[in-house]
Structure 1
Amino acid sequence: MEIFEAYDLTETVWSAAALTGHDPKTVKRYVKARASGRNPYEREPRPKMIDAFLEKIEEWVEQSKGTIRADVVHDKLVKMGCLGSVRSTRRAVNAAKTAWKVGKRRTCRPWIPEPGRWLQFDSVRCSTPPGYTGARVWCRVVGDELSITARTSSGDLSEIWRHQLSTPGVPQIIDAHYPDHPDGRSVHQPRLRPRSEAEVAFVGIGPGAGRWLKEAGPAGASRIRAKTAHAVELAVVLGSDRGDQALGLAAAAGRFAEDDLVSVLEHVAASKHVGQVVRADEAHSVQNGTIAWQALGRQQRAAGESRAD
């Protein structure tokens, strides 16, 4: 029998201890924790020497944007009179960095699968307000609503949001919970930020160069620096307009090989009409088909019939 079940039945510490086989002090501690609203299965934190310096540690972590080392923090605390150990400082710094990263963490809008096309393991998804990404929450049904409770920054458990009950496959997503995803859209692609002179020269060719650079990475293109340098040389000789047009066409067609840009430039130089750009895939191939094989069996049968005649 569980401690709380035994205590709720007998309403005395000694009787509950006798039924569960636990020490009466343990039963009393669990009952007292539940009465105060704390989690009885979590140990109550004991005071530490470093507690008086936690605000200073959080300040240093905030100023350094989570990059300050624990040994540097410990040296500063020793000068301030802290008598705690290096291990205590390291734990406090790690906790402060974890809390700092929670507020800086990038949030992702949940993926909503299309019914009938994807296998979904959970039944209902519900969003939480900003600041609770990765945090543990407790959900319970209250009437026709789902109440979400979490531990706030003050350490207390409180309700942070309520959703209307839904059905499997219909998640309850609130756009206000994802401020980085306006109108349900994903985060915009970051802008190109060239640093070296070669990168500045390549991006300066035009928007086609930027598109080529964005498409080349996901496509697995190799020797990016050599190809961009060659593109800059071609743009200087042939002009930025033609170079930019060729780079844009190459990016749209997924052509990132060594001589692909030269081939596209030759096509543009010949003043040929640029038709619909087609990527090479299973649906578009220049390989000969097998329809000619259909005549093989017919020719043999025809030869056999002529001999029989």
Structure 2
Amino acid sequence: MKSAEEIMNMLEAFDLTGSLRDAGELSGVSHHTVARYVAARDAGGISDRGAPRPQLIDAYVAKVEEWVEWSAGKVRADVAHDKLVALGFTGSERTTRRAVAVVKANFRVGRVRVHRPWVTEPGMWIQYDFGDGPMIDGVRTTLFVAWLAWSRFRVVLAIRDKTSPSVMAALDVTMRRIGGAPTYLLTDNEKTVTVEHVAGIAVRNPAMVAFARHYGVTLHTCVPVDPASKGGSESSVKVAKADLVPTDTNLLGAYESFADLEDACEVFCAQVNARVHRVTRRAPEAMLAEERLRLHPVPADPHTVAFGLTRVVPPKTPMVTFEAGQYSVPHELLGATVWVRVHGRGADEQVVIVHVGATGPLEVARHARARPGSPQITDAHFPPAPPGALGRVPLARTVSEAAFLSLGDGARVWLAEAAAAGTTKMRVKMAQAVQLAKLFTRADVDWALGHAAVHARFAEADLASILDHHATITAAAGPVSQASEDRSLTQGTAGWATLGASTPDATQVTA
């Protein structure tokens, strides 16, 4: 295969001489080669690439296409190669990787999302999003980032959390800073905005609906898990975090207080809004002066939450978190929304929790101030503890476990004590106990298990040893025999009566 330079030299020599042989001599190739490339140029098909040759992977391309289609283009090349080897493929993994890359590229044709530029009207849209802020005094802060779509004017605010009151206050500050309220608000499906999705339709949070009605704006949310729906605010969050959150790249130091972070946000907004935008070629603050004419006025009184901050009770634990403390509510409110506020000051300070039901607002709990790690709990807010909540009871889950536990209470005691002692091969020993119950009585095996549990005898042969010893003692005992009180084989003391007495003379006895 000739290189591009060699092909150009051959064609140049042919154009100069008009002879295939002369061109071949000048180029150092055969006149047949010159003729081939001249004919290819005349046909418009010159290429410096060789003709494709058969490869080992050709017979398996259909299977690779099947895997790529089934995995929606996510199958890994190394996984595909292992599968091909199992099918008899003898080529290298590099060949497989090239083939998978080609098949994936063909798969993505027609499936790539095409983005159309969003051309907005002045005064129509504000997008807002959140970013993780820096740590201040050990507490993570949040960056609220709003982006006016037409003028590209940005508002970055530091907030302590993403609760409804904080978000509503940030939106109020944003609209007053830009000098008006737009027609639409676009954001993510945060719980402060969207409660749930029913058949793909977002169900709005009533508190946020009331807020939008107060300012005369319409609330919209993007498609879930689709940041491209609000790319402007996503990009603004990325830029804000790069300039405001201390990292190794921007060499920013830690913030001493929350007020320092707020000042840094104001400086950042002044810089980016005075800088010429790369798309509009104009400064956002200059364009805002024109867009402000299309915004409608902001109400003089900001929207307030009457009962405090909203909290959602978890679905399994009737506890709500408020300012680093936890407070109990009646368990009937699991999954419900409650309002939390502080009442009083100093020693009389209390946390009041209100729930709005069908009959109106009702105070459901009142607690003293809680400290982090020491929650305020009312026992009446929790249902009675279910049986076994404070201690585990053996519960058979398999046939073998049921056969073992059916031996009796001794088996249950042995299981609990053996598990607590970290006994190994418990299932094998349980099966042996069931087998021993066929050689001995079930009562004897249950007694032996209880005896082993009390004396911590959990070795492999301990149970059989206890049973054998117990059986030996029982067999050897037999009927009990007891000596009579009238007769005894014990030696008496009559022989000691002659001790010290004189004995008759032998001669006297003879006479």
Tell me the TM-score normalised to structure 1 length: 0.42
Decide which structure has greater helix share.
1
TM-score, normalization: structure 2?
0.28
Larger % of strand: which? Answer: 2
Bigger Rg over Cα: 2
